[in-house]
């Protein structure tokens, strides 16, 4: 029945199991370990012969409810929660890559993901090739006999490029590869990569899923087999598991995800159009505008364009910084998906792990700015942007 519910119903009711006390809100199970009825029961659970909780690093009732809900929302068989979005990225990759394997990844990704695949994975003898996923021929050409995984974000941080999930999944299946997509910017309400043939979907649950800027978390969704492998062969040993309290906060935040996303998208569409028409803005990156390369995917792969916008100013670095510092309603912060509108400078902040040459190759210039449009009155946000732009 849950699969037939509308998204607004799923975010509230999916994955919930009625509590024996009758509590409307799911209780927080703030316990590190769980008591066995007998030594024999403990041995049986460790052996996997009996279902039940052992230790919160291996599973917890509160975290399990979040995982069930996210699996339903993404249309997955299963999900596992992690302590951060990067824990989700690293666990999903390390569960599927070994010494001597090869990874094909998008050349434009979140800065810490870039650092992970270019600096950390190579320490374990994993080769990485970065390509432009706008060119599916380049993706296919990068595959070797040692390739095991294809990884990308879409939309991409920070330019909001949108990649063809059907095409990526087809290439992966032709070569027997695991495809992994970071769906953070869209959430499962705006895009469901698994329905396009992708194998594993990850999220920084810190962002829209929680929506209140008070939790660091990640989510991995996929098949029962993949999640079992990631959770019990990799994540339990790396230790990047989510705390029950943070899982409980995300469960609370998810209840309003549907209505929050509507406001985020509505506001972003208006602001993108405003920036597009401003004489101090030279380029706007937002799939919701017709000139953006990702606009073709709206209504097909993506329901709407989301709440993140990047843009370039006709300004020097000093003027761009002056603009940022002159804003009142846009907090200078590097996250996204919060109730508050945020602004950041990718070249010196989220994408600082890139070298100057790598940033230039990725098109991350000194005047590129990224905003996460919040839930404030869009009229007030535009007034704030206007007064700050007028000062440069």
Give the CATH number for residue 14: 3.40.640.10
> Could you list the active site residues?
57, 110, 182, 207
Kind and range of the H or E run holding 310: strand 308-313
The last residue of one of the domains, among 254, 269, 286, is: 254
265 and 362 housed in the same domain:
yes
Same domain flag for 349 and 301 = yes
| Shared domain check, 262 and 184 | no
Are 263 and 227 part of one and the same domain? no
Final residue before a domain boundary, out of 235, 254, 273? 254
Walk across the sheet containing 127-131 and list its strands: 78-82, 218-222, 200-204, 178-182, 147-153, 102-106, 127-131
Domain shared by 56 and 190, yes or no: yes
Would you state the pLDDT for residue 363?
Answer: 75
pTM strictly above 0.85: yes
Asked if residue 333 and residue 238 are part of one domain, the reply reads no
Residue 161's domain comprises: 2-254
Q: Provide the pairing of β-strand 308-313 with 281-285.
A: antiparallel
Model pLDDT, residue 159: 86
Q: Are 129 and 101 in contact (CB under 8 A)?
A: no
pLDDT of amino acid 355: 78
Domain total of the chain: 2
CATH of the domain at 293: 3.90.1150.10
- Residue 205 CA to residue 216 CA, distance in Å, equals 7
Same domain? For 226 and 342 the reply is: no
> Does 263 lie in the same domain as 198?
no
Q: Are 371 and 336 in contact (CB under 8 A)?
A: no
Residues 310 and 216 in one domain: no
pLDDT < 50 regions, the chain: none
| Alpha-carbon span 158 to 349, nearest angstrom | 11
HSE-up (13 A, CA, CB side) for residue 359? 18
Claim to verify: residue 242 and residue 326 sit in the same structural domain: no
Pair (279, 378) in one structural domain: yes
Question: Which of 193, 227, 254 corresponds to the end of one domain?
Answer: 254
Do 68 and 209 reside in the same domain of the chain? yes
DSSP H or E run through 219: strand 218-222
């Amino acid at each position: 029945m849950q699969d037939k519910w509308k998204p607004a119903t799923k975010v509230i009711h999916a994955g919930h199991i009625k509590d024996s006390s009758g509590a409307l809100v799911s209780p927080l199970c703030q316990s590190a370990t769980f008591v066995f009825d007998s030594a024999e029961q403990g041995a049986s659970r460790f052996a996997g012969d009996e279902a039940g909780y052992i230790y919160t690093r291996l599973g917890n009732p509160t975290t399990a409810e979040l995982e069930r809900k996210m699996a339903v929302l993404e249309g997955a068989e299963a999900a596992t929660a992690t302590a951060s979005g990067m824990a989700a990225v690293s666990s999903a990759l390390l569960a599927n890559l070994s010494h001597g394997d090869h990874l094909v990844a998008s050349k434009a990704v979140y800065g810490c993901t870039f650092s992970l695949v270019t600096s950390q994975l190579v320490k374990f003898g994993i080769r990485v090739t970065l390509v432009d996923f706008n060119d599916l021929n380049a993706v296919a050409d990068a595959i070797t006999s040692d390739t095991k995984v294809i990884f990308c974000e879409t939309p991409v941080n920070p330019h909001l490029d949108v990649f063809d999930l059907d095409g990526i999944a087809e290439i992966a299946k032709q070569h027997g590869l695991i495809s992994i997509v970071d769906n953070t910017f869209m959430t499962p309400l705006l895009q469901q990569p698994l329905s396009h043939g992708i194998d594993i979907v990850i999220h920084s649950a810190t962002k829209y899923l929680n929506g209140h800027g008070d939790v660091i978390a990640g989510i991995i969704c996929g098949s029962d087999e993949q999640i079992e492998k990631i959770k019990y062969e990799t994540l339990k040993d790396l230790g990047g598991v989510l705390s029950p309290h943070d899982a409980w906060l995300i469960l609370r935040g998810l209840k309003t995800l549907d209505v929050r996303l509507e406001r985020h998208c509505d506001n972003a569409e208006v602001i993108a159009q405003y920036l597009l028409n401003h004489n101090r803005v030279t380029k706007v990156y937002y799939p919701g505008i017709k000139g953006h390369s990702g606009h073709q995917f709206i209504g097909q792969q993506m329901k709407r364009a989301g709440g993140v916008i990047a843009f370039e100013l006709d300004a020097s670095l000093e003027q761009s910084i002056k603009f940022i510092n002159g804003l009142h309603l846009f907090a200078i912060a590097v996250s996204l998906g919060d109730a508050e509108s945020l602004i950041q400078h990718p070249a010196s902040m989220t994408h600082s792990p890139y070298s100057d040459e790598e940033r230039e190759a990725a098109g991350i210039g000194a005047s590129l700015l990224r905003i996460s449009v919040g839930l404030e009155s869009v009229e007030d946000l535009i007034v704030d942007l206007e007064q700050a732009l007028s000062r440069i």
